[in-house]
Amino acid sequence: MSTPLPTLPAGPAAAACCPPSTALDAALDAERLAALAKALAEPVRVHILDVLRRHGEPLCQCELVPLFDIPQSTLSHHVNKLVKAGLVEVERRHKWAYYSVSPAALEELTAWLS
């Protein structure tokens, strides 16, 4: 047989609690930031974004494939998630796709995190 849990005295009513010391930021685009965070929820996507950010120039997908131990189709899937979120820009050159970090998205993330 288990011992019953002790009953705690009731705390103060919600109206008696102190008001919040801060407020929601009306200018915050929470939907947009959540979409960016969702796109970065996979470690491989964080690595892809980091490689592109450090490279500084558009990078051909054929140069990305050897960096990751995943099939090219899986890499394309992850890159496309970053493109759809607006974190990565794609430029088509004949049959090749070149990827680079979107400066606007990077500024957006940096501004929010700082």
Domain regions of the chain by residue span: 30-113
pLDDT tens digit string along 85-114? 999 999 999 999 999 999 999 899 998 888
Asked if 72 and 37 touch (Cβ cutoff 8 Å), the reply is no
Residues near 7 by beta carbon (within 8 Å), at least 6 away in sequence = none
Secondary-structure class of domain 30-113 per CATH: mainly alpha
pLDDT tens digit string along 23-52? 888 888 999 999 999 999 999 999 999 999
pLDDT tens digit string along 55-73? 989 999 999 999 999 999 9
Asked if 47 and 87 touch (Cβ cutoff 8 Å), the reply is no
Asked if 45 and 76 touch (Cβ cutoff 8 Å), the reply is no
> Cα angle at 32 between 84 and 103, to 5 degrees?
65
